[in-house]
């Protein structure tokens, strides 16, 4: 029952309050710790960088996960109400659905106002590509891709690990995801970020495919072609460099009957419908339906577990 209460309160907090300022957000703290620690590894040999990257990963996971584990363990014996409230607050800090919705809405408004430079600036924080020279259709593609991929990283995966490993599990996932977003790219972080990047691939293996399935169901529920969404997900997911990101992005492309493209890297889906600002709204609607489906599934999973465990 405590899992249901924590999940319900965390979702209510996200829908009503959104994210706290960075000053009070653990993910921002994670970023500062990672930025400080990464300086000690970049000037060394590839082997040293790889080992140092693994040490950073385990250290930051311990730094943020163990206090959460012991705090909740203590509160559970002291006060059930305090335990549930603290668990809900901490769980909320590992995911953000309202924040994703606000960002997508903002990009849509900027696109309608033809403020493309501002769109490029907003997208820099969401995608790994250089957005400085992207034309409007490719900016729309990047926004849709980001919405589809972010629903996995920012919502489905944290709750997936919460269901099986509790709030500490959700925090551990968030640490690895933050590490991957900061030092998981090629270039200067090729070796330093290899361990967290591969660990992120492992942790997202199931959530990414689950997200694709949720987007297929969302296509069906919204009277789009769930069959086409599934076919594109199966056929095009392997075109991306990431072993996971292609699944939700391809599913979204199929559901919206559009082609998503990162120039020189991949094309997902078929260009049967134009990429216009309204496409961003359609992708957000798809993501929202997928999120609601996942929320219902989470509660159903926990209720079934309670029934069969008593």
The set of residues, in sequence order, having a beta carbon less than 8 Å from that of 216 and lying 6+ positions away, is 226, 229, 230, 233, 251, 255
Task: Identify the CA nearest to 183 among candidates 27, 62, 41, 59.
Answer: 41
Query: Which of 26-35, 102-111, 207-216 holds the top average pLDDT?
Result: 207-216
In this prediction the pTM is: 0.93
Q: Domains in the chain: how many in total?
A: 1
What is the rounded distance in angstroms from the CA atom of residue 110 to the CA atom of residue 104? 10
Whether 129 and 193 have beta carbons less than 8 Å apart is answered as: no
The pLDDT of residue 129: 75
What average pLDDT does range 13-27 have in this prediction?
91
Q: What is the pLDDT of residues 227-254, one digit of tens each?
A: 999 999 999 999 999 999 999 999 999 9
What is the rounded distance in angstroms from the CA atom of residue 145 to the CA atom of residue 273? 16
What is the rounded distance in angstroms from the CA atom of residue 272 to the CA atom of residue 180? 34
What is the rounded distance in angstroms from the CA atom of residue 63 to the CA atom of residue 68? 9
> Residue 16: pLDDT above 80?
yes
What is the rounded distance in angstroms from the CA atom of residue 245 to the CA atom of residue 115? 28
Per the document, the length of the chain is 310
The set of residues, in sequence order, having a beta carbon less than 8 Å from that of 263 and lying 6+ positions away, is 138
110-132 burial string, b = 16+ CB within 10 Å, else e?
Answer: bbeeeeeeebbebbeebbeeebe
Q: What is the pLDDT of residues 118-151, one digit of tens each?
A: 988 888 777 777 787 888 999 999 999 999 999 9
Alpha-carbon dihedral sign for residues 76, 81, 84, 88:
negative
Which residue segment(s) compose the domain that 207 sits in? 2-309
What is the rounded distance in angstroms from the CA atom of residue 159 to the CA atom of residue 154? 9
Task: Identify the CA nearest to 141 among candidates 237, 149, 177, 113.
Answer: 149
Q: What is the pLDDT of residues 158-174, one digit of tens each?
A: 999 999 999 999 999 99
The pLDDT of residue 7: 97
The pLDDT of residue 283: 94
Average model confidence (pLDDT) across the chain:
93
The pLDDT of residue 39: 84
What average pLDDT does range 112-122 have in this prediction?
89
């Amino acid at each position: 029952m405590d899992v249901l209460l924590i999940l319900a309160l965390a979702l209510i907090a996200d829908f009503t309050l959104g994210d706290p300022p960075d000053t009070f957000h653990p993910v921002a703290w994670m970023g500062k710790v990672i930025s400080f620690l990464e300086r000690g590894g970049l000037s060394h040999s590839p082997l040293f960088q790889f080992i140092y990257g693994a040490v950073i990963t385990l250290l930051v996971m311990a730094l943020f996960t163990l206090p959460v584990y012991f705090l909740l363990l203590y509160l559970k014996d002291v006060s059930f109400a305090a335990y549930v409230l603290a668990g809900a607050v901490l769980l909320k800090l590992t995911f953000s659905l309202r924040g994703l919705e606000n960002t997508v809405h903002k990009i849509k408004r900027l696109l309608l106002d033809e403020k493309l430079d501002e769109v490029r600036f907003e997208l820099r924080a969401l995608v790994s590509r250089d957005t400085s020279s992207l034309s409007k259709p490719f900016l729309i593609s990047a926004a849709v891709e980001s919405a589809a991929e972010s629903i996995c990283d920012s919502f489905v995966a944290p709750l997936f690990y919460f269901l099986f490993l509790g709030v500490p599990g959700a925090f551990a996932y968030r640490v690895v995801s933050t590490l991957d977003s900061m030092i998981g790219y090629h270039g200067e972080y090729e070796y330093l970020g290899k361990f967290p990047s591969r660990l992120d691939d492992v942790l997202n293996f199931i959530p990414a495919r689950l997200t694709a399935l949720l987007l297929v169901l969302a296509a069906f529920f919204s009277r789009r072609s769930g069959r086409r969404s599934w076919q594109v997900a199966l056929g095009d997911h392997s075109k991306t460099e990431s072993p996971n990101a292609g699944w939700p992005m391809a599913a979204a492309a199929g559901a919206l009957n559009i082609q998503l493209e990162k120039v020189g890297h991949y094309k997902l889906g078929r260009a049967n419908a134009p990429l216009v600002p309204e496409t961003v709204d359609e992708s957000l609607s798809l993501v929202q339906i997928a999120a609601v489906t996942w929320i219902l599934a989470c509660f159903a999973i926990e209720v079934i577990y309670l029934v069969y465990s008593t």
